[in-house]
A and B are shown apart, each in its own frame.
Chain A
Amino acid sequence: MNFMVVVLWTDVLLFILLAVCLAYARHAARRPHLRAPWARMARSASGMAAATVLSAFALIGVLDSLHYRPLIEAKPGVPGPARYAVEVRSVLDLVIQGVLGPMAGKSEKTYSAPLATHAFSRENIERPGPDGKPRQVREYPRLANGGAHLKDPAREWAADVATHAVRGMVFGFIAWLALAFVLLGAYAANHQEDGGIAGVWGDAWSGRGRLPWRSILITLLVICLCAGVAATLGSRYHLLGTDKVGQDVLYLALKSVRTALIIGTLTTLVMLPMGVLLGIAAGYFGGWIDDAIQYVYTTLNSIPGVLLIAASVLMMQVAIDANPGWFATAAERADFRLLCLCFILGMMSWTGLCRLMRGEALKLRELEYVQAARAFGVSRLAIIVRHILPNVMHLVIISAVMDFSGMVLTEAVLSYVGVGVDPSMSSFGSMINAARLEMSRDPMVWWSLAAAFFFMLALVLAANLFADAVRDAFDPRLSPKRRRRGLLAKASA
């Protein structure tokens, strides 16, 4: 084998989470009362568009969670065990490298603007002068990779960019058609009554179908076009420029997606069991258990969140620094730090859910079906598992999806404060933080900031819209209905 599989802790947890989600989906699909709210959610146009965007991000995140260490080519004739590179890479790296080629990773010396062919700042360069002697000139040097294929950038650049952008869009469009065909085909195969793929296609564009296919397909088209352009232009230029050390910003942004997803989901994984179990215990048992749990969460709540996180992260940092032997690679250390951050964030944020669960359990405890179970002498544990837990699950789902976007935003702030992820790990927070330091440059280095902004906006907006759709589907009384006027419209006209 020419690689060694590396399984990081966050990878394991992420895949466990994925497995849990799939298992829940299978479980829910067979139960009408669990399926119904998701079916309602699937009718929401904004929710499904958001889900499409989130799936794209999730795909990036999953690919970036399959890690390996490549084999170092041994010198021929030198026997010995296979040696693997210290650098841990992921399948996403492989894909990006395949698509973007030399643009991926650290390929320039320092800043360059998006689509530039020359560096951002002048350098002293030796050039043969008119007399043939080398001379020091201050000018913008050509980039090592970005636009290197152009002979005369000043003349060819605009046409080349336009050609490749159009080509990228065409590729994107073709990919979209193929994807749409597969998706609609799969759907039509399961829903014979909708008149096959042609029927579904027709319904999609007239807005008649049961699923909001139109918004799904449009979102998918936008994603495909972006991806197409990124692939064609991005393999010839630094599409979003490079940062201070010459890293491609597009690559950085793509690598940051996993960090954001991990923080958003694993934190929830930590927080859910604590919040749910303690909350239900407090509400159902009451008495001293309730007092103790309330005391714990009030105490935790009363400590300012950022400070407690900062203090915990600092302490974790001290512990990591004091024990350098724990980790084989830098990636493992960064991963451990990310995991700790998720744990710390989770420990800080279960209190809200706990309070919600406590209130709900207090209410459910008095409900008549719980009383009926008590009249049967059903044990308290069985009552909680059978009667309380299933009836708070919808709130748990709502709060889990609602918290996701908050966590992604928190990560950015924490990185700014200096208690975020490991500096070696790319994240939106560290991108913003690095870009902020260059605010005073003139002209401004805006592209890292812009890239982080758009990627984060896409992710968080999609998460928020998705959360809204989920909440409306699980708790429909919150969404006001459109007013119908009927006869009165004539009266007031």
Chain B
Amino acid sequence: MSAVLEIGGLNTRIETAGGVIRALDDVSFEIARGETFAVVGESGCGKSMTALSIMRLLPEAAWIDSGRVDQEGRRLLELPEYEMRDVRGRRIGMIFQEPATSLNPVMTCGEQIVEVLERHGIARGAAARARALDWLQRVGIPDPAQRMDDYPFQLSGGMKQRVMIALALCSEPEVLIADEPTTALDVTIQAQILDLLVELQRSNGMAMLLITHDLGVVARMAHRVALMYAGEMIEIGSRASFFARPLHPYAARLFAALPGSASRGSPLMTIPGMVPPLTTEFAGCRFAPRCAFAHARCEAEAPGWHMAATDGTTSHRARCHLLEEGEVPPLRAEAGAAAAALPVSQQGALLEVRDLKVHFPIRRGLFRRTVGHVRAVDGVSLTIGAGRTLALVGESGCGKTTVGKGLLQLIAPSAGSIRFDGRELAGAPAKVLRQSRSLMQIVFQDPFASLNPRMRVGEIIAEGMASFGLGVDQAGRDREAASLLAQVGLPADARDRYPHEFSGGQRQRIAIARALAVEPKLIVCDEPTSALDVSVQAQILNLLADLQRERGVALLFITHNLAVVEHLAHDIAVMYLGRIVESGSADEVLRRPRHPYTQALLAAVPRIEGGAEAPQVADRKLFADLPSPANPPAGCHFHTRCSRATAECAAAYPEARIVSQTHRVHCIHAQ
């Protein structure tokens, strides 16, 4: 095996106010030509630091303490800076997570690609432009001649990432480092970008270092996988062997924490505790404090690499004492018991939404007249039964968050009816509205923006109670706050602390406690876990399921994450450009999807079940981007991206087809 990139004993440190962080500790691996090597791990594990250390693009407070990075015989860490610059962009290309901010906003896309070509003496002038144009075509940008002179802000997120890829690959580097290349993108766009990377790798034969937190992406893309934990690589193996039989207890736990249809109806496995701070001098195994199999040796002695299986060319190894002792930690939770149905309390409808519309005016011209509307929500109808979970699924910009805010009247709906427990809330007088606010509460996505940093946790939880006059006095509210904190799994002394002292997952628990404090019957959960790591997500999902069981609270779960939907939803509504295209019970929508959009969405989700096969290319692909909700396509909004579209589709928006008592779909081609 000829390695294009070899990393040996890499140690990277960051200086912070709290001490020196050991961001990377003895990281070693190699990547062969044409190979995709995936580094996976939860946030803060050092996976991005690995990439930046290889490129020598570390932030200013960080430095490489020791180690070796060899790229085809070049010792990168010993090169003077000016020679290293010849390596960057020429030998090693890199793409980043945020396409929106990673391109220079005041240079055209063409200029930014030409700049690379000219910098590395590959082409200049007209030749460079021609080459850049060719690359824009290769990365699948429609109308590339036009796009050459566009500025990045004129492109969608997916298109920007394609430009980034063109920019990184136009000098045909031997290695491509992709740092979370699809994390900021929607699942259908993610599928496109991943396919593009696979195709380009096949034609160029480059090696790829893929950095991601998403095991699904790994399963789809990688040849070999490395798992990182607390600055250390703890498991390396081929994809097949890694997904078939993870060796490290952390890996096994991580798999068990993944939500999906297999875990439906049963709590997810979680990992107790938290990642230790990297300022610690570790004596033993870093995972030992959280490991179910830890014994005395784990605390005292750092485990070395232990081989488990050899499957032809690549070895599968992990840093765990158990392997040396011949014991392989048991695997994921038993799948058999899992397929149980979700507990359901069948009652009447709690919330009935009919034809909800939220339009934002677009004003133009001399008198700021309203020349049009952004139809963020354009006629949505939903029904949520008491104690049930309805998942509202869609890509970013489809209006799903606006639905949530419209229901709570955080944004005034333009039209439609919202009946809660038989009472009409849309257009209700302020007094009725104020009373009804305790019935519906909301949990937001960003755990850092959803708690006021200047208030104590106790005050945060008590705010709603005080507002509704619940709890007789301060002491009563304090008692209530303490019992709520206990319910969401936080210590009682949390009450007197400030939000910044808590981690993302703990903050989300506080946000849930705050919502529960006013005893709502419905909680709108707006992407409550999408900012969290998998293991923390599992804890929050379990918590929500427990609360639903104990309190009978209904959930409107707004998300783009289909795996989460599969895990917890009773009913599903799929939203596209302000309208619901398909709705039904979870089983109906997930197993027998009728709308082409639902089908494409489901197909685009990378799944780890397919991990044993070769990198797959999804069969039902969506090419174009999401159209603007200010100017949705005529007729069926989806027909511009639909493979089954006919002339008829552009004529009128399709009426609902009733598939079953609960299952409805807006498509004339739905069988």
Contacts and interface: CB of A to CB of B under 8 A. Distances in A.
Contact of B63 (A32, A374, A386, A486): A486
A371 interface: yes
B80 interface: yes
Contact of A368 (B62, B80, B450, B500): B450
Contacts of A480: 60
B182 interface: no
B449 A487 contact: no
Contacts of B514: 372
B451 interface: yes
B96 interface: no
Interface in A329-387: 367-369, 371-378, 386-387
Given A33-B498, A486-B65, A488-B56, A372 B77 contact: no
Nearest to A480: B60
21 contacts: A33-B453, A371-B410, A372-B444, A372-B450, A372-B511, A377-B437, A377-B438, A377-B467, A377-B468, A378-B463, A386-B455, A390-B452, A390-B454, A481-B15, A481-B61, A484-B15, A487-B63, A487-B65, A487-B77, A488-B77, A491-B79
A469 to B, nearest CB: 16
A369 B451 contact: yes
Given A33-B498, A487-B77, A391 B452 contact: yes
The 8 closest A-B pairs by CB, nearest first: A486-B63, A390-B454, A368-B450, A368-B444, A376-B464, A377-B437, A484-B63, A377-B434
A492 interface: yes
A368 B449 contact: yes
B60 A481 contact: yes
Contacts of B216: none
A492 B442 contact: no
Nearest to A371: B410
Contacts of A487: 63-67, 77
B441 interface: yes
Interface in A465-493: 480-488, 491-492
Contacts of A386: 452, 455, 463
A135 B136 CA distance: 103
Given A390-B455, A492-B81, 14 more contacts: A32-B498, A368-B450, A369-B451, A369-B452, A372-B514, A375-B442, A376-B464, A377-B467, A386-B463, A391-B452, A480-B60, A487-B63, A488-B81, A492-B80
Interface string A386-400: 110011000000000
Nearest to A393: B454
Contacts of B445: 368
Contacts of B62: 484
B115 interface: no
Contact of B467 (A376, A387, A483): A376
B88 interface: no
A374 B433 CA distance: 12
B504 to A, nearest CB: 13
A159 to B, nearest CB: 55
A376 B64 CA distance: 50
Given A484-B15, A487-B65, A368 B446 contact: yes
Contact of A371 (B61, B442, B454, B500): B442
A483 B61 CA distance: 6
A480 B61 CA distance: 9
A172 B24 CA distance: 54
Interface centre among A32, A368, A483, A488 (most CB of B within 10 A): A368
A313 B307 CA distance: 86
B51 interface: no
Contacts of B450: 368-369, 372
Contacts of B463: 373, 376, 378, 386
B11 to A, nearest CB: 9
A390 B452 CA distance: 9
Interface string B441-476: 110111001111111000010011001100000000
B332 interface: no
A374 B65 CA distance: 50
Contacts of B453: 33, 391
Contacts of B498: 32-33
Interface in B66-83: 66-67, 77-81
Interface centre among A369, A377, A386, A488 (most CB of B within 10 A): A369
Interface string B388-411: 000000000000000001001010
A383 B464 CA distance: 12
A36 B80 CA distance: 41
B63 A488 contact: yes
B196 to A, nearest CB: 34
Contacts of B451: 369
Contact of A391 (B56, B437, B454, B464): B454
A398 to B, nearest CB: 16
Contact of B449 (A367, A377, A481, A484): A367
A486 B437 contact: no
Contacts of B66: 487
A391 B498 CA distance: 14
Contacts of A387: 452
B518 interface: yes
A484 B442 contact: no
B639 interface: no
B60 A485 contact: no
A287 to B, nearest CB: 13
Contacts of B621: none
A372 B468 CA distance: 14
A37 B582 CA distance: 52
B13 interface: yes
Contact of B60 (A368, A483, A491, A492): A483
B411 to A, nearest CB: 10
Interface in B60-113: 60-67, 77-81
